Amino acid sequence: MSIATTIARAAGVAAAIKVYEQCSAAAAQRQRLAEQVVVDCIAIFQTCSHKELLKKKEV
């Protein structure tokens, strides 16, 4: 194998690793966003439930 081929393969591997890292980072960010959506939904549900309980106490 020539030096040029070895360098080209190494560059290809490095590029593949970089793409993998970027995809992993994007996946991690999507996971964090999904978790935040769940937290927000729970907070909204609790707020709405609390308001409904207050309305029932008033009646």
Q: Given this model, what pLDDT does residue 19 score?
A: 94
The pLDDT assigned to 30 comes to: 96
Helices (H), the chain: 3-58
Phi, psi of 2 (to 5 degrees): -80, 165
| Residue-wise pLDDT tens digits, 7-59 | 899 999 999 999 999 999 999 999 999 999 999 999 998 888 877 777 777 65
**Res 17: pLDDT:** 93
Supply 22's token pair: 């970027």
Q: Can you give the pLDDT at residue 58?
A: 66
